[in-house]
Amino acid sequence: LARDFTIAIDGPAASGKSSTARAVALELGFGYIDSGSIYRCATLLALRNNIADVSTGATDLIDLINKSSVNIKFQPSSTRSAPNLITGRLSVPDVRILLNEEDVSEEIRKPEVNRLVAKVASDGGVRTAVLGIQRALAGAAETRSTSVAGKDGVVSVPGGVVMDGRDIGTTIFPNAELKIYLDASAMARAIRRWDEMNSSLKQARAADPALAAGDKAPAEYPSVEDIARELEERDYADINREHSPLRIAKDAVVIDNTAMTFEQQVYSIADLARDRMGLERKHDDL
């Protein structure tokens, strides 16, 4: 029972992997690694060093990746004292991404990175370089088993790690104890991304009166259709590449969340994990 437990969450762009993985990690007291952010950091290195043409071989970029450090700051530890006893409102902890100690969390979500990342991630050499970082981060982030007082006395609660991406269940952790494939319709995913951009725009306006003065969206602000097109192009590249394409692992649990609430999907995944860890389910009331 006290063994470490790995949850792999894969799926297309904006299917909810990252926010779901973070909330599940918090529920279970596990660590969390966002593998997409490592590919985004690699893409930022390419852009900053003018190595946009990765199609002719990416040796310069691979050297840069090997010389760089990526850190993912995620703190589920505040709830570690009783990880499986958490009840109440669902929260999604923040994650900060550090590239060579610089906080690039916002910069790696920019449109230039969105446009280039799938191409960078299709290079076999880049994937090997990222794999080294990924394994090291997972080892460091994984939480250890703890003993918690339950109604039948002290029980041992496993520690573990949640990792999300495209090839986690198929290539990175083929033996993961729980594999989830999250999916949703392209339009639902595009609308969610658009909503996210809208609410960050609102926040920026609330903080800055100059921005609030003009109530029009900035000129470069994409439409839902633009976002849908970008997501579909990236999915096409991720599904059709040669190295570790996006696939549903044969032992993955497929969850289409087009018509599900965020809470439903987080709680059902956390309970699936509890089942497999031999712990009591918490959310049968859903």
Binding residues for ligand CDP (CB under 6 A):
4-6, 11, 13-20, 35-37, 39-40, 117-118, 121, 165-168, 173-177, 192, 196, 234, 238, 257, 260-262, 265
Q: Which residues pair with 6 in a beta bridge?
A: 161
Nearest distance, CB of residue 275 and ligand CDP, angstroms: 16
SS3 221: coil
SS3 73: strand
Q: Are strands 253-256 and 70-73 parallel, antiparallel or unpaired?
A: unpaired
Nearest distance, CB of residue 153 and ligand CDP, angstroms: 26
CB nearer to ligand CDP: pick between 91 and 212: 91
Nearest distance, CB of residue 192 and ligand CDP, angstroms: 4
CB nearer to ligand CDP: pick between 99 and 121: 121
Q: Are 180 and 255 contacting, i.e. CB atoms less than 8 angstroms apart?
A: yes
Nearest CA among 73, 14, 66, 12 for reference residue 42: 66
Nearest CA among 182, 148, 179, 150 for reference residue 262: 182
CB nearer to ligand CDP: pick between 36 and 125: 36
CB nearer to ligand CDP: pick between 192 and 274: 192
CB nearer to ligand CDP: pick between 35 and 84: 35
Rounded distance between C-alpha atoms, residue 208 and residue 199, angstroms: 14
CB nearer to ligand CDP: pick between 38 and 213: 38
SS3 279: coil
CB nearer to ligand CDP: pick between 27 and 167: 167
Nearest CA among 120, 101, 102 for reference residue 46: 120
C-alpha to C-alpha distances, 243 to 117, 237, 240, 247, 258, nearest whole angstrom = 14, 11, 9, 11, 28
For 243-260, the DSSP string reads SS-----TTPEEEE-TT-
Nearest distance, CB of residue 118 and ligand CDP, angstroms: 4
CB nearer to ligand CDP: pick between 106 and 149: 106
Nearest distance, CB of residue 64 and ligand CDP, angstroms: 17
Edge-to-edge order in the sheet of strand 102-103: 70-73, 96-99, 102-103
Rounded distance between C-alpha atoms, residue 155 and residue 1, angstroms: 9
Nearest distance, CB of residue 220 and ligand CDP, angstroms: 18
Nearest distance, CB of residue 242 and ligand CDP, angstroms: 12
Please count the residues of the chain. Answer: 286
Q: Are 182 and 189 contacting, i.e. CB atoms less than 8 angstroms apart?
A: no
Nearest distance, CB of residue 282 and ligand CDP, angstroms: 19
